[in-house]
Amino acid sequence: MIAINSMMVCLDLSDIDEKLVAFARAICGRLPVDKVYFVHNIKTSELSDDFREWFGDVDLATEIEGNITDIVTEHFADAAQHEILVSEEPNTEVILADLVKRYNVKLTLLGKKSRDKSTGALGTKLLRILPCSILVFPETSGFRIEKVLVPIDFSDTSVHALRLSKNLSDQLGLQLEIMHVYRLPSQFFPLISEEKAIKKAEEVVQGKFEGLQKQHPEIMGIPYTLVRAANKSIAERISLQLDKGGHDLLVLGLKGNNPIPSLSLGSVPTEIYNSEIHVPLWLVYSEEVIK
C-alpha cells in the first residue's frame, strides 16, 4: 500500500496557492498522509532597498505565515496533521532541499503556472535538486484522477515507476495504461524498407515487454500502447497520448546517475515539464536513487 509519511507543499503567494492547498487536501483524502508541511521562502536577496526602507519594521515572515494560515484553514482544514514553515534565505532551492532531508519528506507538491505567467526556472531547479519524488500540479489541471499513463523505456527507473503506478491504481481503483515510444535507426534506410523496419522494431519491443511481464507478473493485463516517434520527440508523443487517452495523471521514473544535489532529471521529463500539459505530473525517484 502506498502511504506518505510526510509531504511538502511549496507555496509562492500567488493565485495558484489555493488550488495547490486544495489539491493537497484531495491527496490526503485518497492516500494515507501522516503530515503535510506548507512551506514558503522569502528570498531575502530579492527584497529591494526601498522595501527595506519603507517596511523595515514589518515582521514579514509573520505576515506571510498568517496569510498561508488563512488559505490552509479554508482549503485544507484538518485533512491531515500539518505545519506551516516560512523561512528567510537567499537561496530557495537550497533551503527546500534542506527541509526535505530534515523532515524526511517523501513527496513534494509543486505548482506550475502557464508559460505566459512564469518562466518555470525555479521549478526546473527544484526538480533537479530536491531529493524526493515530486508531484507537479499545473494551474489548469483538475482534481479528478481516474486514468493514469506511465511511459516506460524498460530501464530500472521506468519499471519502478510502473510498479508504483500499478500499486496506486490497485489502491485507488484507477485505470492504468503503459506506453513505449520507439525510434527507427535511420542509418539502415534505404537498405531495408520502412515497413520491415517497423515490424522488426515492434517485434523487439514486444519481446522486451513479454520479458518484463514474466519478471513482474503483477503487470499482466495492463493495456499497452506502442508508438513510433517518427517526426516528433518522445515527450511530444507522450503529450499526444495524454490528450488522446483522456488521462488524468502522468507518471515518469527519474534516473539518478549523478550525486545529489545534481540528480539526473533527463531530457524527456525536462521537456514534459516545460510543455503546456494540463494534468498532474508525478516524477518518481526510487529510494535507492535517493540514497
Instruction: Annotate 115-159 with DSSP letters as a single string.
Output: TTT---HHHHHHHHH-SSEEEEEETT--S---EEEEE--SSHHHH
Question: Quick one: average pLDDT of 40-57?
Answer: 65
Report DSSP state, residue 262. S
Q: Is the pLDDT of residue 52 over 60?
A: no
In sequence order, the β-bridge partners of residue 251 are 282
Closest CA to 283 of 90, 75, 70, 134: 134
pLDDT of res. 287: 62
Closest CA to 240 of 169, 198, 181, 157: 181
Q: Are 272 and 238 in contact (CB under 8 A)?
A: yes
pLDDT of res. 163: 94
CA distance 247 to 245: 5
Q: Residue 281: which H helix or E strand, with range?
A: strand 281-284
Pairing of strands 133-138, 281-284: antiparallel
Question: Quick one: average pLDDT of 243-270?
Answer: 72
Model confidence at 77, pLDDT cuts 50, 70, 90, reads very high
Q: Is the pLDDT of residue 276 over 90?
A: no
pTM above the 0.85 mark? yes
Buried b (16+ CB within 10 A) or exposed e, 44-75: eeeeeeeeeeeeeeeeeeeebbebbeebbeeb
CA distance 107 to 76: 17
